[in-house]
Copies of this chain bind each other. A is one copy, B any other.
Amino acid sequence: MKSDSHFTLTLKVRDYECDLQGIVNNSVYQQYMEHTRHEFILSLGLDFAQLHNQGTDLVVARLEMAFKTPLTSGDEAFCTLNVQKQGLKYIFEQEVYRKKDMKLAIKATVTAVAVIHGKLGISEPVDEKLKAFIGA
Contacts and interface: CB of A to CB of B under 8 A. Distances in A.
A83 B82 CA distance: 33
**Nearest 4 CB-CB pairs, A to B?**
A49-B73, A27-B30, A18-B20, A14-B35
Interface of A: 14-16, 18-22, 25-28, 30-31, 34-35, 38, 42, 47-49, 52, 57, 59-67, 70, 72-74
DSSP majority for the A interface? mixed
A49 B34 contact: no
B60 A74 contact: no
8 contacts: A15-B35, A15-B38, A18-B20, A26-B60, A27-B30, A47-B73, A61-B67, A62-B66
Say how many copies of this protein the assembly contains: 4
Given A28-B27, A74-B49, A21 B66 contact: no
Given A27-B34, A30-B27, A67-B60, A19 B21 contact: no
A119 to B, nearest CB: 14
